[in-house]
């Protein structure tokens, strides 16, 4: 069965510093990987996805993520954090030739400290 | 404006009552989804539909029902059989199958059982 893990419930980063939000996955076959962001009392917003091709994926708001097949990871990164990046971040995984479901991680709360 | 609307934003229900949550999209998406979000548990899939007049159970379908009579509408009924319905409910849609297409989310409905 496919699964996704976000090992950190919360990440604190000072404004201007680089940030990383970790995600690891388990799936048979090639994964499709996604990152979403959720602001308080709102729905999720899509940030970026990896389907195939270049392992470094660039997305919205200056975020990027690197697909690492050997480590089964898809960590979200940003070179310089903004206070407005504070939110709840979800990693998600699906796989081709499976049922039409995406599995979401439990989320990581990112706090950017001014 | 294209997007997904959910109503109401807040809903209060007495025990033993059925309630219906509305989800409408004007994105011309084929697939629609219902998720339940509880603190610290991420998103869990309740039901999904890839085409009009067809839908499948997700991971936590017990106590819920849906219909998909129109492409743009996917209402969710929380029945009295749902043991713990207090949660934040999110509706989403995607072009075609969601396994490699990003999902677009509505703003959510917060249901509280009194």
Task: Summarize the confidence of residues B20-26 as an average pLDDT.
Answer: 97
pLDDT tens track for A9-60: 999 999 999 999 999 999 888 899 999 999 988 889 999 999 988 999 999 9
DSSP codes of every residue in B9-31? SEEEE-TT--EEEEEEE-S--SE
Tally C-beta pairs within 8 A across A and B: 67
Disruptive mutation site among A102, A103, A104, A109 for chain B (greatest number of B CBs within 10 Å): A102
Q: Any idea what DSSP says for residue A17?
A: S
Q: Which residues of A touch B50 (CB under 8 A)?
A: 100
Is residue B1 pLDDT above 80, yes or no? no
In sign, the C-alpha dihedral spanning B98, A96, A39, B109 is positive
Q: Which residues are paired to B73 by β-bridges?
A: B24, B70
pLDDT tens track for B26-82: 999 999 999 999 988 889 999 999 999 999 999 999 999 999 999 999 999 999 888
| Beta strands, E only, B1-114 | 4-7, 10-13, 19-25, 31-37, 43-51, 54-57, 64-66, 76-78, 87-94, 104-105, 109-113
Task: Summarize the confidence of residues A84-90 as an average pLDDT.
Answer: 96
Q: Which of residues 15-74 of B touch A (CB under 8 A)?
A: 31, 35, 40-45, 48, 50, 56, 58-59
A55 CB-side CA count, 13 A: 10
Q: CA of A52, closest CA in chain B: separation in Å?
A: 10
């Amino acid at each position: 069965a496919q699964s996704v893990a976000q090992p950190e419930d919360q990440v604190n980063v000072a404004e201007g510093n680089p940030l990383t939000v970790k995600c690891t996955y388990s799936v048979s076959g090639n994964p499709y990987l996604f990152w979403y962001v959720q602001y308080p009392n709102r729905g999720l917003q899509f940030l970026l996805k990896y389907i195939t091709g270049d392992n470094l994926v660039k997305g919205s708001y200056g975020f990027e993520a690197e697909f690492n097949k050997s480590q089964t990871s898809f960590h979200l990164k940003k070179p310089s954090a903004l206070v407005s990046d504070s939110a709840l971040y979800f990693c998600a995984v699906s796989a081709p030739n499976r049922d039409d479901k995406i599995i979401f991680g439990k989320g990581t709360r990112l706090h950017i400290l001014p | 404006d294209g997007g997904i609307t959910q109503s109401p934003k807040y809903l209060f229900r007495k025990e033993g009552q059925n309630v219906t949550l509305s989800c409408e999209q004007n994105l011309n998406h084929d697939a629609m989804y219902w998720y339940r979000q509880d603190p610290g548990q991420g998103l869990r899939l309740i039901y999904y539909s890839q085409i009009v007049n067809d839908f499948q159970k997700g991971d936590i379908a017990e106590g819920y029902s849906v219909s998909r009579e129109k492409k743009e509408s996917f209402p969710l009924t929380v029945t009295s059989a749902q043991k713990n319905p207090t949660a934040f409910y999110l509706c989403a849609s995607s072009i075609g199958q969601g396994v490699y297409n990003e999902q677009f989310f509505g703003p959510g409905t917060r249901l509280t059982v009194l």
